[in-house]
Amino acid sequence: MKKEEWQKKGAGHRARLREKFLEIGAEGFSDAEVLELLLSFGTPRTDCKSPARLALKEFGTLAAVLEAPGEDLLKIPGIGPKNSFAVRFIQAVARRYLQQRLQGRKYLHSSGEVRDYLLHSMRELPREVLTVIFLDSSHAIVATEVMAEGTVNVNTIYPREIVKRALEVNAAALIVAHNHPSGSLQPSPQDMHLTRTLSLLCSMMQITLLDHFIIGDGSYSFADKGLMATIREDVDQTIKETLAAGRN
């Protein structure tokens, strides 16, 4: 097949994919078709079907492809710098969209969207990241920020910095989330210690720690598992004992 004929055939195929999306949306697409069309934004005159399938085979899922580092994408035959840029850009846009969609919404009515945002932004990250969602007195979301990258534990300044930032944005409550690159959803002793320390610091400043999410192969909520209630009771008892000791 001549190059001109191949390009004409490829252009027709991409046009049909675009028309399909406009007619029925992404629900009618396979992951391979979604990725193929996305890659074509970077190289509109190149056949992207084979690179899309190779990328899915290499990384396993569409989400994993979107979260893959640029240098890993470039190892896939047929994916060049322009394709890699298209993938990374759409991932960044999606993360910003999900983050901004939360702004001003009441957490109790949007907990599912919060979970979606955390899963999308943190699930495939190669290293630990600590994200904090700050809420006002009516539990409307006022800000979402990454507060730390690297190993997340209580031996860092993160709890103090989180409370400091909460006071700066006038937050009355907050939600923290960190990821486990291994995919495990089981809280470690360090995770428990971090949550208790942060809850204690927040209580002392009249700020409520509503939940701690762990993001891995899914999500784990301390509140849903009843751990936040137990931690709050422990913190309240510690504060009472400290105050009583100070009076004696």
Fold of 104-247: Cytidine Deaminase; domain 2 (3.40.140)
Pick from 142, 122, 140: which is nearest to 131 by CA? 122
User: What pLDDT is recorded for position 210?
Assistant: 93
User: What pLDDT is recorded for position 154?
Assistant: 52
Supply the DSSP string of 146-191, one letter for each residue. Answer: EEEESS--TTSSHHHHHHHHHHHTT-SEEEEEEE-TT---SPPHHH
User: What pLDDT is recorded for position 153?
Assistant: 56
Residue keyed to tokens 């006038």: 170
pLDDT for residue 157 is more than 70: no
Residue 190 contacts residue 212 (beta carbons within 8 Å):
no
Percent of the chain surpassing pLDDT 70: 88
User: What pLDDT is recorded for position 219?
Assistant: 92
pLDDT for residue 8 is more than 60: no
Give the pairing type, strands 173-179 and 208-216. Answer: parallel
Question: Residue 6 — pLDDT band, cuts 50, 70, 90?
Answer: very low
Pick from 70, 33, 72: which is nearest to 49 by CA? 33
Whole-number Å distance between alpha carbons of 140 and 156: 28
**Tens digits of residue pLDDT in 79-133:** 989 988 888 888 888 777 777 777 766 766 667 778 888 888 887 777 889 999 9
More confident residue, 64 or 195: 195
CA 16 to mean position of chain CA atoms? 32
* Joined tokens for residue 185: 């959803």
User: What pLDDT is recorded for position 30?
Assistant: 86
User: What pLDDT is recorded for position 2?
Assistant: 46
Give the pairing type, strands 218-221 and 141-149. Answer: unpaired
User: What pLDDT is recorded for position 196?
Assistant: 93
State the Rg of the chain over Cα: 23
Give the pairing type, strands 208-216 and 141-149. Answer: unpaired
The domain limits of the chain are 3-95, 104-247
More confident residue, 222 or 20: 222
DSSP 125: -
Which architecture, in CATH terms, is 3-95?
Answer: Orthogonal Bundle (1.10)
Whole-number Å distance between alpha carbons of 132 and 195: 12
| Beta-bridge mates of residue 98 | none
- Asked, colleague to colleague, whether 3-95 and 104-247 share their fold, the answer is no
**Tens digits of residue pLDDT in 20-55:** 777 776 677 888 888 888 888 888 777 888 889 999
